[in-house]
Amino acid sequence: MTDATPAAPSPAPSDFIRDIVAQHVAEKRYPQIVTRFPPEPNGYLHIGHAKSICLNFGIARENGGQCNLRMDDTNPTKEDVEYVESIMQDVNWLIGDWADHCLGFKAHGQTPVTVSVNGQPDFQIPAHFPAREKSVALEPFFASDYFDQIFEYAVALIKKGKAYVCDLSPEDTDKYRGAPDKPGTDSPYRNRSIEENLDLFMRMKAGEFPNGARTLRAKIDMSLPNVWLRDPLLYRIRHTAHHHTGDKWCIYPMYDFAHCLSDYIEGITHSICTLEFEVHRPLYDWILENLGLPRPLPHQYEFAKLIPSHMIVSKRKLIHLVNEKLVSGWDDPRLPTISGIRRRGVPACALRRFAIGVGVTKFDSMTDIAVYEHAVRDELNSIALRRLAVVDPIKVVLTNIPAGETIEVDAVDNPQSETPTTRKVPFTREVFIEREDFAEVPPPKYFRLKPGGEVRLKYACIIKCDEVVKDAAGNVVEIRCTADLDSRAGGPNSGKKVKGTIHWVSAAHAIDAEVRLYDRLFTAAEPDAGGDFTKNVNPKSLVTVTGKLEPSLAFATQEQRFQFERLGYFTLDSKDSAPGKLVFNRTITLKDTWAK
Ligand code: ATP
Ligand code: MG
């Protein structure tokens, strides 16, 4: 569990799915509530998946139930172990400290067993182990572990006369299917005998036919208004190795066939998915009901996707950004992938709080990115250590402090904590301040440093600008000031007020670090509204500078979160930072710079 921050106790969320589950719990309809989170390992998880993870694991957790992490891996051409591993890492990070209570896992190598219920063979994962030991590594479920069982269920459907092998080409299959307003046409292969269907299906499995030559289809009704019920495909031929089952199979079940059966085999009670699957629900039910399965059937419930503004949440489009090198990889801190969000420095509990806070509804709508950013700021404000850092330095010489003298000043680590601690920060003759905190020709109401003006260096003292030194080209290279050392805390002049306070670091003590100033990846609220979303990439979404940091930051650790005072929240980059070559990522600015 990488992020040790405990989940803040908050009132249990409530929504229409939780209401349904509560009703079932009250009725004692199931011995235990079992949900699942079923990503297809064809890309990295994103912020939308975080909502689904929090919902599925949350419901299990709130009801003393179990949630299975299941790889929905029925399409070998697009899937990969790299994705399986990233999904496990991301889920573990996001709900790590919930997992001990509700994460379903299987003993190593466990596969479904054949049980006999009322004389009928049936398959199930024999036992659940919801209270896992902390030392047990997360091992996900794989739909592909059920390929044998799913195949048997297909054979059972054929034997019942409810599935047939069809020789229509993919194009003709589409043509025969019709359209929502136009009934389909029966396939000429629809009335094959059960014997012929069984024979052909076995030969499909044995690899006798090339890709696309034949399919197995459910025999439902080609005239139904719901096109998903017009003899949908159950199996197709794909002579492709699978990341989990290797070369064992050359036929693969379709998503709709595999999903309901995987749910059933695992004893899922509530199969929660997003709204686009609503039209698939009759097929989900048809398959399970027509197999005449002996145990209680799972049911599907749908909710609206999370669609955050200024983000792309589609694996296909995220892959495009990665492949076109518009970002540095799946974990680029600008991406809304869970790995990008983690690398950017967002604490898991902030992402969870957002994913839960957006609520669960039946209506698609866009969530303002500002809601997410607020959740991130809110969490970081309470936990981040305040530090002094300058990202665009200009030198200030305090002429009345002797060279070589170091004055130690006390700086507060986090004013939000109940008992704030302080640290010593060196203050010397030469300091760096932020270039934009000095104006030679100040605009009206400019309260920072200006010729002849005074400003407070935070935690140190008030300084007065006496002289500006320029290079031959007229650029300001140095500002010479007098420090009012009596205005330090506890000094005779400590009560003196000035309007501006700025941050600084001692030039002699400052450490250099690469600072990556991240901003929103897209300038448009709906990046793909106008067609090509890559045109909306924010050219300033990453600005890299060399910052001057207070010396204590040399000991920063990966787990720590920092507020560089007046600049924003920062964290060490998990990939590129090394001792002696620090790289900090800006997680987020202190204020919403995009708001009007
Ligand atoms: P994408 O559209 O990004 O390719 P997907 O739906 O194909 O996503 P899956 O791996 O199938 O990705 O998703 C796993 C689960 O996460 C599914 O139950 C899906 O409904 C849910 N999910 C996917 N995107 C979102 C989202 N934006 N908001 C909430 N849940 C989501
Ligand atoms: Mg999907």
The minimum-distance atom of ligand 1 relative to the CA of 307 is: 27
Q: What distance in angstroms lies between residue 70's CA and the mean position of ligand 2's atoms?
A: 13
Nearest CA to ligand 1 atom 26: 48
Task: Compute the average pLDDT of residues 325-341.
Answer: 97
Is 276 part of a structural domain of the chain?
yes
Can you tell me which atom of ligand 1 is nearest the CA of 274?
20
Quick check: 239 and 221 in contact, CB under 8 A?
Answer: no
Whether 128 and 222 share a structural domain: yes
pLDDT at 48 over 70: yes
Read off the pLDDT band of 5 (50, 70, 90).
Answer: very low
Residues with CB under 6 A from ligand 1: 38-40, 48-49, 51-52, 273-274, 305-306, 313-316
Quote the mean pLDDT of the chain: 92
DSSP state of 508: T
201 assigned to some structural domain: yes
Nearest-angstrom CA–CA distance, 146 and 110: 11
- Positive/negative CA dihedral, 402, 404, 408, 409: positive
Strands 511-518 and 583-589: parallel
Over the range 265-285, which residues count as b (16 or more CB within 10 Å of their CB) and which as e? bbbbbbbbbeeebeebbebbe
Which residue from 496, 483, 458, 310 is spatially nearest to 396, judged by alpha carbons? 483
C-alpha 373 chain-centroid distance? 14
Q: Quote the ligand 2 centre to 524 CA distance (angstroms).
A: 25
Is 397 inside a domain boundary? yes
pLDDT value at residue 101: 53
- pLDDT, mean of residues 540-547: 98
pLDDT tens for each residue of 373-395: 999 999 999 999 999 999 999 99
| Amino acid residing at 566 | R
Do 562 and 553 form a contact (C-beta atoms < 8 A)?
yes
pLDDT of 111 over the 90 cut: no
Compute φ and ψ for 440, nearest 5 degrees: -70, -40
Last residue of a domain, one of 509, 544, 569: 509
Res 23: pLDDT: 97
Name the closest-CA residue to atom 10, ligand 1: 39
344 within a domain of the structure (yes/no): no
Which ligand neighbours the alpha carbon of 52 most closely?
1
Q: Per-residue pLDDT for 456 more than 60? A: yes
Average pLDDT over residues 93-111: 62
**105: containing domain:** 16-307
Among 52, 57, 75, 362, name the best residue to mutate to test ligand 1's pocket (greatest count of ligand atoms within 8 A of Cβ). 52
**What single string gives the DSSP state of each residue in 12-28?**
PP--HHHHHHHHHHHTT
The verdict on 277 and 399 lying in the same domain is no
Task: Find the CATH number of the domain harbouring 25.
Answer: 3.40.50.620
CB 391 within 8 A of CB 510: no
Q: Is residue 345 one of the residues assigned to a domain? A: no
Which whole number is the average pLDDT over 37-57?
A: 96
pLDDT tens-digit readout, 197-244:
999 999 999 999 999 999 999 999 999 999 999 999 999 999 999 999
Whether residue 591 lies inside any domain: the answer is no
Identify the DSSP state of 144: G
Number of domains composing the chain: 2
115 and 213 assigned to the same domain: yes
112 has a pLDDT exceeding 80: no
82 and 212 housed in the same domain = yes
- Note the ligand closest to the C-alpha atom of 39: 1
Q: 267 and 407 share a domain? A: no
Please check whether residue 432 lies inside any domain of the structure.
yes
CATH number of the CATH domain containing 393: 2.40.240.10
Among candidate residues 206, 65, 218, 217, the one with its CA nearest the CA of residue 131:
65
Nearest-CA neighbor of 584 among 535, 491, 515, 536? Answer: 515
Please, which pLDDT band fits residue 547 given cuts at 50, 70 and 90? very high
- Report pLDDT digits (tens) over 350-371: 999 999 999 999 999 999 999 9
Taking residues 572-594, report their average pLDDT: 94
**Ligand 2 centre and the CA of 38: distance in Å?**
9
More confident site: 66 or 568: 568
pLDDT at 66: 85
Same domain, 180 and 286: yes
Residue 208 Cα to ligand 1 middle (Å): 35
For residue 59, report the distance from its CA to the centre of ligand 2, in Å.
21
What is the CB-side half-sphere exposure of residue 462 using CA atoms within 13 A? 19
Q: Please indicate, yes or no, if residue 169 is contained in any of the structural domains.
A: yes
